[in-house]
């Protein structure tokens, strides 16, 4: 009975994804805890701590279907944690060998390491989408490197740019996100094995060898000391998701603005019925962008909760630790859902170059007044050129004429530039600065990152 729309069978199609929900599903979590228990038994048998035949029986019994949901729920309700019931169920399924299960471990060891295994799998799904979106956006950047459009500041037309450059700027943070992800994995994908209070006293001098072997068995890194009350790694993972969400929200915001009827320069992929209104047949609402914005805002709201959960008291937190279980799955599910919406936009966006050009012409050349000023500056001096162009802009607005006509009426300009030269100055395509070079630089950065990954 899901109460969060992101987990429902109907509304969940809008907010999250089934693959990510499968990673953080409760049954999966219990299996991951059993995976940790099985790995612990294997390494302890190799180290001579428990009998090998006991380890074999524990490993064979470590299947979630061997646990009773009713018994687990009753135990968790009574104890406050799920591991006591889990170990009881595992021990029962393992028979006499069950007496050797969970040897030297504590509840948090099993739960934290299981969480890390989930986070690793969740990050794999996140990384896959980051890569696909980066590739799709750079494809759009190269496709539209010469598609001139109005650049906008404060929601007003400012100077010409290209849609290719806009896509390259959308793409650039994905390179940084992939780099961040590679770096944070070493700080997040770490085994947790501390024993009752962080000393592994119950294992004597074999505590650290068990910790190291358990990490190797699970493919995790080894911390210098237990991190049971050092929660920066998991907090960093959620903060990373918040950064990714910020990038997705920027793209969604731009798409929403570009798709406005009065602008109409770009829109989400067209699918029959997608974003339709129940009363207005003409509507094509930017529904994917809306859910990107909703999901990422929720992820951003979860980030402070994860940071607050770092305030763990002494050697076992009383409350902050439990907060993480409410935050992590939601943050991953919502981020992955937003990534899937963004991927659909990046791969299939509808771009209207003709409308971009028409919108450029709305100001009848005023958008490139800076270009005219810079073109006249070598002749008139920068200060005088500014005054001349400002005077021409005022006249164009007052008389309802183009900037080219207003400039031609000014003797200071007409005496130096013929009509063809004026038209060259006010052509937006001739005032793109380093737009092409910037696209190439982002493309090169993307390729360098992929080359490093292949190496």
Domain ranges of the chain: 5-358, 366-425
pLDDT at 125 over 80: yes
Question: Please, which pLDDT band fits residue 186 given cuts at 50, 70 and 90?
Answer: very high
pLDDT number for residue 278: 47
Indicate the range of 140-154, 244-258, 408-422 predicted with least confidence. 408-422
pLDDT at 107 over 50: yes
With contact defined as beta carbons under 8 Å apart, do 135 and 251 qualify? no
Q: Which of 68, 202, 277, 434 is catalytic?
A: 277
Average pLDDT over residues 303-329: 92
Q: Comparing 455 with 355, which gets the higher pLDDT?
A: 355
**CB burial string 190-212: b at 16+ within 10 A, e below:** bbbbbbbebebeebeebbeebbe
Indicate the range of 4-18, 266-280, 302-316 predicted with least confidence. 266-280
pLDDT at 238 over 80: yes
pLDDT number for residue 171: 98
Average pLDDT over residues 156-182: 96
Q: Mean pLDDT score of the chain, rounded to an integer?
A: 93
pLDDT at 121 over 80: yes
Q: Which of 17, 102, 144, 154 is catalytic?
A: 154
Average pLDDT over residues 354-368: 93
Beta bridge partners of 162: 148
pLDDT number for residue 281: 55
Topology annotation, domain 366-425: Ribonucleotide Reductase Protein R1; domain 1 (1.10.40)
Distance CA 207, CA 191 (A): 13
Beta bridge partners of 350: 267
pLDDT at 257 over 80: yes
The secondary structure of 323-334 as a DSSP string is: HHHHHHHHHHHH
Q: At 146, is the secondary structure helix, strand, or coil?
A: coil
Per-residue pLDDT reduced to its tens digit, 195-237? 989 999 999 999 999 999 999 999 999 999 999 999 999 999 9
Within 10 Å of residue 396's Cβ, how many Cβ atoms?
22
Topology annotation, domain 5-358: Fumarase C; Chain A, domain 2 (1.20.200)
Indicate the range of 12-16, 43-47, 236-240, 293-297 predicted with least confidence. 12-16
Percent of the chain with pLDDT over 70: 96
pLDDT at 175 over 60: yes
pTM: 0.92
With contact defined as beta carbons under 8 Å apart, do 87 and 102 qualify? yes
Per-residue pLDDT reduced to its tens digit, 319-329? 888 999 999 99
Q: Is 154 a catalytic residue?
A: yes
Average pLDDT over residues 356-377: 90
Distance CA 406, CA 403 (A): 5
């Amino acid at each position: 009975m899901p109460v969060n729309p992101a987990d429902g069978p109907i509304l969940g199609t809008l907010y999250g994804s089934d693959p990510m929900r499968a990673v953080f599903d409760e049954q999966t979590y219990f299996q991951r805890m059993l995976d940790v228990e099985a790995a612990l038994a294997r390494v302890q048998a190799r180290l001579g701590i428990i009998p090998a035949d006991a380890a074999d029986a524990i490993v064979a019994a470590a299947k979630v279907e061997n646990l009773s949901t009713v018994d687990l729920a009753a135990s968790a309700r009574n104890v406050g944690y799920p591991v006591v019931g889990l170990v009881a169920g595992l021990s029962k399924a393992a028979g006499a060998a069950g007496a050797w299960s969970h040897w030297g471990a504590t509840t948090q060891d099993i739960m934290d390491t299981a969480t890390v295994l989930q986070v690793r799998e969740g990050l794999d799904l996140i990384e896959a989408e980051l890569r696909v979106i980066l590739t799709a956006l750079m494809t759009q950047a190269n496709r539209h490197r010469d598609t001139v459009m109005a650049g906008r500041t404060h929601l007003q037309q400012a100077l010409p740019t290209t849609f290719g450059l806009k896509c390259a700027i959308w793409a650039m943070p994905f390179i940084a996100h992939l780099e961040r992800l590679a770096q944070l994995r070493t700080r997040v994908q770490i085994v947790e094995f501390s024993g009752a209070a962080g000393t592994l006293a119950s294992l004597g001098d074999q505590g650290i060898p068990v910790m190291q072997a358990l990490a190797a068995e699970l493919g995790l890194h080894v911390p210098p000391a237990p991190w049971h009350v050092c929660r920066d790694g998991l907090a960093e993972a959620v903060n990373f998701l918040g950064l990714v969400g910020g990038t997705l929200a920027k793209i969604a915001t731009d798409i929403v603005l570009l798709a406005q009827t009065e602008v109409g320069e770009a829109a989400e992929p067209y699918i029959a019925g997608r974003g339709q209104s129940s009363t207005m047949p003409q509507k094509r609402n930017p529904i994917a962008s809306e859910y990107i914005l909703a999901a990422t805002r929720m992820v951003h709201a979860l980030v402070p909760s994860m940071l607050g959960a770092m305030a763990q008291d002494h050697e076992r937190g009383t409350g902050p630790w439990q907060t993480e279980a409410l935050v992590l799955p939601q943050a991953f599910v919502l981020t992955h859902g937003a990534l899937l919406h963004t991927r659909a936009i990046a791969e299939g966006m509808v771009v209207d170059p003709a409308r971009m050009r028409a919108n450029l012409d709305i100001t009848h050349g005023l958008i490139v007044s800076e270009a005219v000023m810079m073109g006249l500056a070598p002749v008139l001096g920068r200060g005088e050129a500014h005054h001349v162009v400002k005077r021409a802009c005022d006249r164009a607005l007052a008389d309802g004429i183009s900037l080219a006509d207003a400039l031609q009426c000014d003797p200071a300009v007409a005496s130096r530039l013929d009509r063809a030269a004026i038209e060259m100055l006010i052509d937006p395509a001739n005032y793109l600065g380093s737009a092409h070079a910037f696209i190439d630089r982002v493309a090169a950065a993307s390729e360098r990152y992929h080359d490093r990954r292949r190496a």
